[in-house]
Every structure is written in structure tokens, then in C-alpha cells.
Amino acid sequence: MIESLDLLFSASLWAAVLRIATPLIFGVLGALLCERAGVLNLGIEGIMTMGAMIGWLSVFLGADLWTGLLVAAAAGALIGLLHALLTVPLGLSQHVSGLGITLFAAALAYYLYRLIVTVGESPPTIEPFRPLDIPILSDVPFLGPVLFAQTAPTYLALISVAIIAYVLARTPLGLAIRMTGENPHTVESQGLDPTLIRIGCVMAGSALMALGGAFLTTAAFNSFFPEMVQGRGWICIALVVFSSWRPGKALLGALLFAFLDAYQLRLQAVVEGVPYQLFLMAPYLLSIVALILVARRARVPEALMTPYRRGER
């Protein structure tokens, strides 16, 4: 019991929280951006898988790590474009299209990986992002290793939260995006094109999702293997609801979830006699509980999942 509480004060736990949260932060931001514009993107799980694969593959084939992330984002945006074309101009079911995108993107990622990489006994590896170890600051006790010795993409994720929050809340573009998700007809009456705004948001959001996947293979681990996204995309979809579609709260949700995940991993080592699967289940079950708690109060974007057709009410 004391041991399980002691864990809470270890810097390594909190450093792990930020590391585990990073792909979730990217993913939840991406999903949030799509949904704020009115498009549910269930392609997230597959887009993260594709981001993880293609980011890793680029580096494996000789690109540097940042180029790898860029390629992943571009691939994400491209798959996002496919989802956007199907759901926005064609107005197809966002649920079914999203699930189709997930199945397609994941299958394509596995196919290309098998095609290009020869896998022997264990999957080949790359040299991943190293912790930055910011001088002086990283030597501060506790806070140093937690906040100032993360890998670069983690800081990129945190910066992205600030950028998305600012753009959505404080800029004309953000206003247009939010209105597209609430009432696209008013956007039209301002002389803007809701269709283009939606397509743009889904592409940008999908690029963020792919970055989340790429973090897994270029920073958290150093290789790609099937099923490695493990439902993180679905967790992000839950986190968007949990956050009431606000970037700041989304960050909080991602950190909370990551804390649970990091804590259960360490508890496994301390608490004996409890099957490890029960610990692994906890984060998924708690996500469902969180949804139950917030569902009634959630302010869903008014036009979410409603296709927009010009001149139709």
C-alpha cells in the first residue's frame, strides 16, 4: 500500500505521464479540430497506424527524424483528404466512412511495411529522438526530469495545444471553423465556403493524428509492429467528448489518461496476486466512466455529423 503511494512521488512516473500523453495529445487535438468543423473522424485509429508506419519507414530509409514526422503528417493529411471528400462534398455517413478509413489505412500501412521491410527474428530498428536534456533546467530536482528532459515531439505537442486553442478562440479563422461546426449556413452567408473549411480541418486534424502515431515509432519506441496503436485513437475520440471540445481540457484529459496508464504499469510491479490484465483494462473502463459522467453536460457542436448542402436547410 505504502509502496503504491510512493510511486506517486517518483519523477520517473511523471516523466512517463508526459511521454505517454504525447500521442494522445496529438490525436485528441486532431479529432477535436475535425469535430469542431462538424466532421467526426473515426479514421483516427488507422491514420495513427499509418503515421506510425510511414514516419518510421522514412527514417529507416535514410530520412532524418524531423523529415519522418513531416512525411507522416503529409500521409495523414492525404488520408484525411479521402475521408473529407467522402463525407463533406459527397455527404456519406461519417461513421461508416471513418471506420472504412481506419480499416483501409491500417491495412495499407501493414501491407507497405511488409512489402518494403524484411522482418527477421525481431523488427528492424531506427535511432529514435533522444530526450533533449535542456541545460540547467533539466538538473532541477523532480521538475527537471519530468518537464525538461522530454523528446522534442512532446514539446511540439504542447505547443500545438496552445496554437490550436489560440486559433480556435481568438482568430477569424477559428471563428469560421467553429461556426462551420455549429451552423454552416451562417458561414456561407459571410461569403466563406463551409465545404472548404471542413476539408481543410479534416486534413489538418488527420495530419496531427498521424504525428501522434509517428511519435510512437520515432520517440517512444524505435520500431514498428502491427497493433501497436492499441486503441489510442478510440481513446482520443472519447477524450474529445470528455473535454467538451475544448483544447485546454483535451490536454488535461490526455494527461489524466496518461497518468492512469503510467500508474497502472508501475502498480503491476508492486501489487502482487492481481492478474496484469485487470490493470491494463482499467484505462479503457475509466474512459467509459468518464464519458458517462460528462455525456449529459457535453456541448456537442450543433452541426456535427450533419452534411452541409448549399441552399438546403
Partner 1 sequence: MRFERRARVPWSLAVAAPFAAIAAALALSAVLILAAGVNPLLAYVEMLRGALGSRLAVTEMLTRAVPLVLTGLAVAVAFRARLWNIGGEGQFYLGALAVAWVGHDLISGLPPAAGIAVLTFVGMMAGALLLSGPAYLRLRFGVDEVVTTLLMNFVVILFVGLMIEGPLRDPLAFGWPQSVPVDGAYHLPDLIPNTRLHIGLLIALAAAGIVWLIVARTVFGTEARAAGFNARAAEFAGVSLPRTIIGVALLSGGLAGLAGGIEVMGVTRGVTTTMSPGFGYAGIVVAMLAALHPAGVVAAAVFVATIFVGADAMSRATGVPSFIADVIVALALLTMLVALLFSSYRIRR
Footprint on this chain of partner 1 (rule: CB under 8 A) = 42, 82, 86, 90-93, 95-97, 99-101, 103-104, 106-108, 110-111, 114-115, 230-231, 234-235, 237-238, 241, 275, 277-278, 280-281, 284-285, 287-288, 291-292, 295-296, 298
Our CB check for partner 1 shows the closer of 70 and 99 to be 99
- Closer residue to partner 1, CB minimum distance, 167 or 286: 286
| Rounded Cα–Cα distance for residues 250 and 33 (Å) | 11
Q: At what angle do helices 94-116 and 44-60 cross, to 10 degrees?
A: 20
Of 97 and 160, the one with the shorter C-beta distance to partner 1 is 97
Q: How far is the CB of 298 from partner 1 (least distance, A)?
A: 8
CA pair distance 9, 297, nearest whole angstrom = 33
Cβ 196 to partner 1, closest distance in Å? 20
As measured in angstroms, the least distance from the Cβ of 89 to partner 1 is 11
Q: Which of 150, 132, 156, 163 is nearest to 73 (CA)?
A: 156
Q: What's the rounded Cα separation, in Å, for the pair 114 and 271?
A: 39
CB of 125 to partner 1, least distance (A): 21
- Going by C-alpha positions, the residue among 119, 16, 115, 126 that lies closest to residue 69 is 126
Q: Nearest approach, Cβ of 94 to partner 1 (angstroms)?
A: 10
Q: Which is nearer to partner 1, 93 or 138 (CB)?
A: 93
Cβ-based nearer residue to partner 1, 49 or 218: 49
| Structure-block grid coordinates of residue 279 | 490493470
Q: Return the residue matching grid coordinates 449556413.
A: 185
The residues, any chain, with a CB within 8 Å of residue 121's CB and separated by 6 or more, are none
